[in-house]
Amino acid sequence: MSKTNSKFKVLSNVQHYLERDYQMLKAIKESDLDNKYFRKQYFNEVALYCGVSPSTISQMHARNLHASYLLAIKISEFINVPVENIWQVVEKEAE
């Protein structure tokens, strides 16, 4: 059995970047669409590009689900952010 290094943990910034991209697009199109419809359309576009369901994107946006590395790569392509920004390795706080 291999020993794991529990000194570090990996954090996902997918929610942050999805929200940032959503807010930028919303600001551009705000006069055209109501907020609820635009959010649904945005999640549908991200999901279609990534090959997952809109529900998956919605759950990641709400932090109820974490993206796999492969899905994070697709999301980073869609929102034009380096995949390295999606994941963050941090030191765990002392218990």
Per-residue pLDDT tens for 2-22?
Answer: 556 578 777 778 888 888 888
Convert the pLDDT of each residue in 45-67 to its tens digit. 999 999 999 999 888 888 777 77
Angstrom distance (rounded) from CA 22 to CA 72: 16
Angstrom distance (rounded) from CA 92 to CA 86: 18
**Model confidence at 32: pLDDT above 60:** no
pTM of the full structure: 0.68
Average pLDDT, the chain: 80
Angstrom distance (rounded) from CA 93 to CA 54: 34
What local confidence, expressed as pLDDT, does residue 53 receive? 93
Three-state DSSP class for residue 8: strand
One-letter identity of residue 86: I
Closest CA to 50 of 72, 69, 65: 72
